[in-house]
Structure 1
């Protein structure tokens, strides 16, 4: 499969913040523990070995076995779960919301990056075991973000009035969605497989967490992926000391606020802001913030109240009712998993980089942070069209107007780039400035005004000629922009919009193996693949 690579910064789709991190800018060095290179992992797992409470391994394995009890799993996944008892076993983790039918395509890239990294680590450090983990965001409550997926320009929605943690949502109403996708997917072997996966996941499982676990296992179970729903009493029991510290000392607020101030001084945009208490209270149909006022604790927009002693007792008795928010969830992950590295998207990397000081305050090892693989997939047909139209891969990442203007200039039989004329004009006016300086300085303003007027006139003429050429070359330009729209639907990266089903319909069972073969997690560049 032919591949091409583009630096993330040159795509113009990634923030300066994440690009500065990838460039290992010195001013960001204090925000992370170790940069993700294959050599740095040895120091990471040696440090994690010293700080991780290995007593939690048996709890983790028991929970996983319960959660997998009704699923048929691969022998490799079974071995991976059992290996977690071993103190020389570590995890590489990615996390994602419970998007309907996996949501955007980058769901696949996150997990593939994670699987491939564990393979690479095993080759480099054969005496250790490395398990790829998918952490389901089952306690998230933003249903509007996950209740749809895009298919060929259409949004396929699941309508539900349920509230609370989305992992608890029952799958009522998804029969109607199945009818919609059955019509959209059409006929054929690959279409039937997609329909079967949807039916088994969403109509034969009681809640969204179970449905997502089934689907992720179908896609990646054979590669040893382990899927965890952390919304479990036994796992949260391991996190009680950290939640107590958050409730009573409320140190995360100060720690993260201090880091945010550093980032803002560097001109970087923060991703999340901390609360005084970064925990939710969770029950069926409810997930609301815990707040404290004058020594009394309560659940926002409810009648639930505690004194300090009552709250701590309730936490000990019912840890499953306490849910970490975006600030505390990463800490929870690193407390209950023997984890070395978190694999995530650009936005996730930024908020993780805001959290190191809170990890240090809690005495928990901060993981390495790896930006997941990003890719653009083009078919052979699309690649051939791009070649005939002489469109370079880098040009596809230009915004629409720049893309069109560049293409018009390239295929036009007239030179519509006036940059040389403008440079020449500026040189001429430099001479006029010197002449005015030597004769009568009062003319300097008039000379400058004339310079601005003439440069503006040239630019206006250039725009008019470009517009005329666009009309004359309309058919060719439309072919170019149609291709760009196919590969960048909605003027966004393909991976942030397209659902895997579109590609599976075309490539079937070869899709995931080919991606596993061609995506390199430590490459540090955007990948372009021709299928």
Structure 2
């Protein structure tokens, strides 16, 4: 393996400033930085000595054990859960459940969580457990139901599963017919090129699908298989057993809702005053909790029962955005204690809930998550809590000798391939144009218009009605010139089809659909091409507390 560190731009200015430690005021806003070993010890000391609100570790361990055993977890995972029950610190991070784990960055996050936990163990000299938080409560099916893969001719294909007839509820609560998974696996088998590793991979996907009633089940089964040797502990945010332990925090979020809103607003004002745009606007009167429609609280029709709706404070109590119902504060608070499974968090309360459930030493986040976590600083403080260390997710671009050969042929570095590749391809294509087609046809248009202009000027002398006919005729001729120009360019591209195909293969592999590899390609593409080797290599890259992006040549 050959590893190269890349400089990759981060679009949002806040995570960029945080990751690269460019703003001391912002760093204090987070409460430290993982690149400073002392901040790890400071966080550990705070967790050990504080009287923060927290769930019972033994009860949490019981829920985690039952959930992970459902997917055939390893003995190491069970050992890790037992250690959590004894109060061990954790490194947590997560993602919504996606088809075959979704884009590769989900795997990158799991790797980052595992390696961050190992790093913390070395720094502190005590056990630190990696926990992957599956956001099974998320309800955007279209964000989760698909996977992008590459076919034998390097064509990018999107495989997706239609949403079952079901209310707009969480992924964990959306039951899927097993035939759907079988059809998806069949389509995957037809799309991916045949390789030495393909039969075993498909067999593992089929095995995971056998016991998968939901997308969360499929997601958890695959993560369990992939990271059995690392003892990764999985948690489903929409696990009913976990919800029971979350009831006190739901009650507090409701009881102190206005105080919480003030905290989010204050943090937002601080960030905007520092020049940073907000990633997630804290909407006025938002309760920052979702409610599942249920007859015990909200009148429902059959097609609405179970629908996940965001709560707002209204004049007569809590309601949805449209004001279609009203629940008194007392009734909702009582429900949070009696039926906590009817509630779930939004992006701004999820960090608080994670820290309530687990002693989180550090949380691994992507750039967008870092931006909205910055808005939770005051909320943590208002609840007598403290934000864990925020560790930027490590990400990777993976290539091999075939991709590297084509890149070397065109003199392209990996950093160039990850940004502006299409412009470089067009510049190369133009450099092969001995005819200078664009200039020739542009000149032809100008010369035609110059010759035609005097005729158009004089036509009205014969008859006024000829002027619009002449103008229309001119545009028709210009359209034919442009049509010929397009055909000439197509012919030029056909002359260089072999080379352009190489350009397109680089693009599809490194920047599929114009986006970074890790945000698009599904793990099955890498698994099919490299077997388990690619994952072993990711886990073997030395941990960098400041994240980073690495180019791995296999």
- In the alignment, the residues of structure 2 paired with residue 158 and residue 401 of structure 1 have an alpha-carbon distance, to the nearest angstrom, of 31
User: In the alignment, what sits opposite 2:343?
Assistant: 322
User: In the alignment, what sits opposite 1:183?
Assistant: 190
**Aligned counterpart for 1:215 among listed residues 206, 213, 222:** 222
CA gap 1:500/1:401 in 2 versus in 1, 3 angstroms? closer
- In the alignment, the residues of structure 1 paired with residue 28 and residue 542 of structure 2 have an alpha-carbon distance, to the nearest angstrom, of 29
- In the alignment, the residues of structure 2 paired with residue 146 and residue 304 of structure 1 have an alpha-carbon distance, to the nearest angstrom, of 29
SS for the counterpart of 1:166 is coil
- In the alignment, the residues of structure 1 paired with residue 385 and residue 261 of structure 2 have an alpha-carbon distance, to the nearest angstrom, of 17
CA gap 1:347/1:484 in 2 versus in 1, 3 angstroms? same
User: In the alignment, what sits opposite 1:282?
Assistant: 292
**Aligned counterpart for 1:198 among listed residues 176, 194, 205:** 205
Give yes or no for contact 1:135–1:227 (8 Å, CA) kept in 2: yes
- In the alignment, the residues of structure 2 paired with residue 292 and residue 523 of structure 1 have an alpha-carbon distance, to the nearest angstrom, of 39
Give yes or no for contact 1:118–1:132 (8 Å, CA) kept in 2: yes
* Equivalence map 1:27-426=2 (5 Å): 27-37=25-35, 38-51=37-50, 52=52, 56-87=56-87, 89-126=88-125, 128-152=126-150, 153-160=156-163, 161-162=165-166, 163-172=168-177, 173-185=180-192, 187-250=194-257, 251-275=259-283, 276=285, 277-282=287-292, 285-298=306-319, 305-400=326-421, 402-404=423-425
CA gap 1:477/1:507 in 2 versus in 1, 3 angstroms? closer
Following superposition, the deviation at residue 401 of structure 1 comes to 5.5
User: In the alignment, what sits opposite 1:12?
Assistant: 9
- In the alignment, the residues of structure 2 paired with residue 192 and residue 300 of structure 1 have an alpha-carbon distance, to the nearest angstrom, of 49
- In the alignment, the residues of structure 1 paired with residue 228 and residue 267 of structure 2 have an alpha-carbon distance, to the nearest angstrom, of 39
**Aligned counterpart for 1:492 among listed residues 512, 515, 519:** 515
Give yes or no for contact 1:171–1:203 (8 Å, CA) kept in 2: no
Give yes or no for contact 1:288–1:301 (8 Å, CA) kept in 2: no
What is the number of equivalent residue pairs in this alignment?
Answer: 471
SS for the counterpart of 2:413 is coil
Write out per-residue CA displacement over residues 62-120 of structure 1, whole angstroms, 9 at most, x where no aligned residue.
Answer: 10122133332212111101111223x11101110111111101111000011111112
SS for the counterpart of 1:215 is helix
Give yes or no for contact 1:135–1:228 (8 Å, CA) kept in 2: yes
User: In the alignment, what sits opposite 1:425?
Assistant: none
Give 5+ residue unaligned stretches, structure 1: 414-466
What's the TM-score once normalised by structure 2's chain length?
0.78
Following superposition, the deviation at residue 179 of structure 1 comes to 2.2
Between 203-212 and 235-244, the greater mean CA deviation after superposition: 235-244
SS for the counterpart of 1:84 is helix
CA gap 1:390/1:167 in 2 versus in 1, 3 angstroms? same
SS for the counterpart of 2:362 is strand
- In the alignment, the residues of structure 1 paired with residue 398 and residue 322 of structure 2 have an alpha-carbon distance, to the nearest angstrom, of 46
**Aligned counterpart for 2:531 among listed residues 508, 512, 515:** 508
SS for the counterpart of 1:169 is coil
Following superposition, the deviation at residue 49 of structure 1 comes to 1.9
Between 360-369 and 387-396, the greater mean CA deviation after superposition: 387-396
- In the alignment, the residues of structure 2 paired with residue 508 and residue 355 of structure 1 have an alpha-carbon distance, to the nearest angstrom, of 40
Give yes or no for contact 1:280–1:324 (8 Å, CA) kept in 2: yes
- In the alignment, the residues of structure 1 paired with residue 428 and residue 46 of structure 2 have an alpha-carbon distance, to the nearest angstrom, of 53
- In the alignment, the residues of structure 1 paired with residue 27 and residue 381 of structure 2 have an alpha-carbon distance, to the nearest angstrom, of 15
Is 1:528 the counterpart of 2:546 in the alignment? Answer: no
SS for the counterpart of 2:147 is strand
SS for the counterpart of 1:167 is coil
**Aligned counterpart for 2:18 among listed residues 16, 21, 24:** 21
CA gap 1:267/1:176 in 2 versus in 1, 3 angstroms? same
CA gap 1:70/1:402 in 2 versus in 1, 3 angstroms? closer
CA gap 1:300/1:268 in 2 versus in 1, 3 angstroms? closer
- In the alignment, the residues of structure 1 paired with residue 225 and residue 261 of structure 2 have an alpha-carbon distance, to the nearest angstrom, of 40
- In the alignment, the residues of structure 2 paired with residue 29 and residue 241 of structure 1 have an alpha-carbon distance, to the nearest angstrom, of 31
Between 290-299 and 99-108, the greater mean CA deviation after superposition: 290-299
Give yes or no for contact 2:136–2:171 (8 Å, CA) kept in 1: yes
CA gap 1:475/1:230 in 2 versus in 1, 3 angstroms? closer
SS for the counterpart of 2:76 is helix
Write out per-residue CA displacement over residues 242-301 of structure 1, whole angstroms, 9 at most, x where no aligned residue.
Answer: 333332332232222222233333432211122421111125632112232224224566
RMSD: 2.8
Give yes or no for contact 1:121–1:130 (8 Å, CA) kept in 2: yes
SS for the counterpart of 1:522 is coil
- In the alignment, the residues of structure 2 paired with residue 15 and residue 477 of structure 1 have an alpha-carbon distance, to the nearest angstrom, of 35
Give yes or no for contact 1:17–1:350 (8 Å, CA) kept in 2: yes
What's the TM-score once normalised by structure 1's chain length?
0.82
Give 5+ residue unaligned stretches, structure 2: 151-155, 294-304, 435-488
Following superposition, the deviation at residue 333 of structure 1 comes to 0.5
Between 291-300 and 273-282, the greater mean CA deviation after superposition: 291-300
Give yes or no for contact 2:120–2:128 (8 Å, CA) kept in 1: yes
SS for the counterpart of 1:91 is strand
Following superposition, the deviation at residue 47 of structure 1 comes to 0.6
